[in-house]
Amino acid sequence: MNAEYSPARNDELIILRAPTVADGADLWRLADGTGVLDTNTPYAYLLWARDFAATSVIAEVEAEPAGFISGYLKPSDPQTLFIWQVAVDSTFRGRGLAKKMLFELVGRTQAARLETTITADNQASIALFTALAREHGTEIQSRPLFTQDLFPSESGETHADEDLYTVEPLNR
């Protein structure tokens, strides 16, 4: 079986919950394991699990950490949930975990609006947030936000532009 696709079994136990500090190392490992996310320090994930647990989610499949979404309510607009990172371990991809986590988090926070940034080549994320918009009977909008010239060069590598995607209204 392809490690990138492992369909869900009807009998497998999936738990979606707010992360705790004890999950910080798992969040870091999941982010690092994607090979595509900007991985922050382990310390940042510990702080995230402590300070933003109410606006984040971790998925466990059969008690094994399988994915997470980190988010926060914008201080300037507490009705807006900003999604920072979405990670699913390669072993658990193809099971709809990202969608389950996102829908659970939007429902739990009761946000009226969602924002996230996505690079143009990340079709999986674009599809995920488009599915959220479709489920809520609303549109997804995008516009440039952070151009690559704003990012520091890392070992000669440049960071792709990050476009801001907005889904609103939510939870009507």
Least Cα distance to 29 among 85, 80, 75, 99 occurs for 85
Q: What is the pLDDT of residue 171?
A: 72
pLDDT of residue 3 exceeding 60, the answer is no
Tokens of 35: 């090979």
Residues 5-25, mean pLDDT to the nearest whole number: 82
Q: What is the pLDDT of residue 157?
A: 77
Least Cα distance to 105 among 72, 171, 166, 56 occurs for 56
pLDDT of residue 5 exceeding 50, the answer is no
Whether residue 24 contacts residue 46, with contact meaning beta carbons closer than 8 Å, is answered with: yes
Whether residue 59 contacts residue 16, with contact meaning beta carbons closer than 8 Å, is answered with: yes
Tokens 């939007």 -> residue: 106
Q: Which residue has the higher pLDDT, 149 or 171?
A: 149
pTM of the predicted model, to two decimals? 0.90
Q: Which residues pair with 58 in a beta bridge?
A: 17, 68
Whether residue 141 contacts residue 172, with contact meaning beta carbons closer than 8 Å, is answered with: no
Q: What is the pLDDT of residue 172?
A: 62
- Domains in the chain (CATH in brackets) are 14-168 (3.40.630.30)
Handedness of CA 98, 67, 15, 20 (dihedral sign): negative
- Separation between Cα atoms, residue 120 and residue 37, nearest integer Å: 14
For 116, phi and psi rounded to 5 degrees?
-155, 160
Q: What is the pLDDT of residues 32-66, one digit of tens each?
A: 999 889 899 999 999 999 999 999 999 999 999 99
Residues 129-147, mean pLDDT to the nearest whole number: 96
Q: What is the pLDDT of residue 151?
A: 86
pLDDT of residue 2 exceeding 70, the answer is no
Least Cα distance to 132 among 164, 90, 100 occurs for 100
Q: What is the pLDDT of residue 65?
A: 98
User: Which range is least confidently modeled, 47-61, 83-97, 120-134, 150-164?
Assistant: 150-164
Whether residue 83 contacts residue 114, with contact meaning beta carbons closer than 8 Å, is answered with: yes
Strand order in the sheet with 14-17: 14-17, 57-61, 64-74, 77-88, 113-118, 162-168, 139-146
